[in-house]
Structure 1
Amino acid sequence: MSSPQTTARAVGIALGVLADAAFGDPRRGHPVAVFGSWAGRLEQRIYRPTRQRGVLYTVVAAGVPVVVTAGLDRLVRRRPVLSAGLTALATWTALGGTSLAREGAMMAVALESGQLPRARELLTHLCARDPSRLEPPELARATVESLAENASDAVVAPLFWAAVAGPAGVIGYRAINTLDAMVGYRSERYERFGWAAARADDVVNLLPSRLTALLTMASAPMVHGSVGQAWKVWRRDRNRHPSPNAGQCEASAAGALGVRLGGTNVYQGQVDSRPVMGEGNRLPEVSDVRRAVTLGRCVGLLSAGVSVVAVLGFAWFAPGRRGWSGRASGRTT
């Protein structure tokens, strides 16, 4: 039998998912934006072009919200309603599935109506790729790739860490992911300073990205794709991507959608050539953007269900609790 604390966590995760579906990201005063502003000021005080300072920055910037959230969790732990509320708030704060799907849908509309400047502007909301010279086929590819990768970052990973470590876990994940977006990319300023944030983000996404790949394969029939084809492409192409995690998501999405991903991208004036993932030579089309949005929604729904069931299932079968070997917690010798 699950404990009140476990039930509260499962209910909180479900409520957080519903809040994201109903409201999406708040337009003003988003906690992640507030954290980003504070982390930016902290960077100004700590910055030196060394890995050591980058490690200090990452530990402090991610550690403070984790400690605060863990303290709050401890205060409300014996009050299931408040505990569920804290988990729901933390989960909603970290989730971005609704906003991600909305951006993808707006991109599809812009491409379908031939609004090229609008489509290029929208791409900046999804990734750091330079869109100034991209034509519709490349904008469609960039969108599909971004939706696939962000299915892990914005949906599966937050739910994974909410299930595994509660409110502090999901807030810690979002803090690290935000720091990676702020300082984790390669540039003259962040080449060494951002190393710790980038590596931390790789670690916390290691399992969620692979879970995302599996859920993407399972969702393939919902976009008229093949589970077997998605599995085949994922196994063959997942390690071709320079990112140990993004390749998992993009390869499985390429197989599920039946398109070819990868190619030449431009980031802040630097050309980056990515290996090709997928079968055949069919590049993503405008219709594939809508299919990618649907695929992401299916992955999100499955992930929410898996997270809630995993929390309750672990409580049921954990050693020392009722339900493990029948009467483990009540057995006497």
Structure 2
Amino acid sequence: MTVTKGQSRAIGLLAGVALDAAFGDPRRGHPVAAFGRTAAYLERKVHADSRARGAAYTAVLVGGAGALGLAAERLAARSPWARAACTAAATWAVLGGTSLGREGRSMARHLECGDVEAGRARLAHLCARDPAGLGAPELARATVESVAENTSDAAIAPLFWGAVAGVPGLLAYRAINTLDAMVGYRSPRYANFGWASARLDDAANWLPARLTGVLTVACAPFAGGRPREAWRMLVRDGGAHPSPNAGRCEAPFAGALGVRLGGANAYHGQVERRPEMGDGRAPGVGDVRRAVRLSGAVTSAAAVVCAALAWWTRRTPPRREGAG
């Protein structure tokens, strides 16, 4: 049986998803953490209040990650099963869906037990929102919003770019997303230096966020919701968020869960008011586990869709005899 490049890629993506589901992120020696340390070291050396300097910083790190992925694919090129194994290892390294679910369930346990202080301490593992003074309802909303948005960032976007561009796509996307988390904030230090990282992250997530929205609509019954309502919120409220991508994930989650997301959020001492999405009630503690369940269903659906995309778009036609 001849295994094409696309089939190897599809097998590797599914195997990587299975590895992430079984083991989650490694506790030590995580390659993304190693990349983050490298990026932090380089930032200390080259930082300046300059968009050009920040763009060069981003290009070097993202280009380096993509080049590493290309080299890995070439080393495995002789065997379809080596290619699949290489893709599986890279997919496992960059996926964060299982860890996202664990953090969501951890927050749910704290809130179900009434331990708001523990919930506040845990919020930093999910988002950059200031936890001081947040009660259980605000923590529940923050968690649901973070799970919705990060379903795309942590799972669907890596799978999409893995299907389209293989191991280089997997590694380059994770580099882009990590840099956005590190320097993409609108703070005095990163307003110019982090501009390129933030804009590149917006571009890299544009299609995956919309795929996440559509799959959330399809998977709404896994959270006890209705696809029609999730679709209505996606169409009506998906563009209301100031981010070009986050609303495409959060709005259908709001519709699927029957809740209302958005409102006032505090980041680094400043309060930002986000448009509300959804017509339902405010999220409650019980909605956190429903959001995690919906996120898992969307990730599983995306794995199938992206594997199919890789399988059918990377078929190599048989070489004709005598072809030069």
Range of TM-score over shorter length:
over 0.9
CA contact (8 A) 1:157 1:205 kept: yes
CA contact (8 A) 2:4 2:314 kept: no
1:298 maps to what in 2? Answer: 297
1:257 maps to what in 2? Answer: 257
2:311 maps to what in 1? Answer: 312
Letter of the 1:311 counterpart: A
The 5-angstrom pairing of residues 1-333 of structure 1 reads 3-280=3-280, 282-315=281-314, 321=317
Partner Cα separation in structure 2 for residue 295 and residue 20 of structure 1: 17
Partner Cα separation in structure 1 for residue 2 and residue 313 of structure 2: 9
State the secondary structure of the residue aligned to 2:125.
Answer: coil
TM (norm. structure 1) is 0.94
Letter of the 2:17 counterpart: V
Runs of 5+ consecutive residues of structure 2 not aligned to the other structure? none
Residue 74 of structure 1 and its aligned partner are, at CA, apart by: 1.4
Letter of the 1:88 counterpart: A
State the secondary structure of the residue aligned to 1:271.
Answer: strand
Partner Cα separation in structure 2 for residue 303 and residue 236 of structure 1: 23
Letter of the 1:248 counterpart: R
Q: Runs in 1 of length 4+ with deviation above 4 angstroms?
A: none
Identity %: 55
Partner Cα separation in structure 2 for residue 35 and residue 214 of structure 1: 31
Partner Cα separation in structure 2 for residue 236 and residue 65 of structure 1: 37
CA distance 1:2–1:307, shift in 2 (3 Å): farther
Residue 2 of structure 1 and its aligned partner are, at CA, apart by: 7.4
Partner Cα separation in structure 2 for residue 290 and residue 6 of structure 1: 35
Partner Cα separation in structure 2 for residue 129 and residue 119 of structure 1: 13
TM (norm. structure 2) is 0.96
Partner Cα separation in structure 2 for residue 271 and residue 223 of structure 1: 31
Partner Cα separation in structure 2 for residue 76 and residue 26 of structure 1: 23
Letter of the 1:14 counterpart: L
Residue 224 of structure 1 and its aligned partner are, at CA, apart by: 1.2
Partner Cα separation in structure 2 for residue 329 and residue 219 of structure 1: 44
Partner Cα separation in structure 2 for residue 201 and residue 259 of structure 1: 28
Aligned-residue CA RMSD in angstroms? 1.7
1:325 maps to what in 2? Answer: none
Letter of the 1:169 counterpart: G
CA distance 1:144–1:2, shift in 2 (3 Å): farther
Aligned length: 322
Letter of the 1:47 counterpart: H
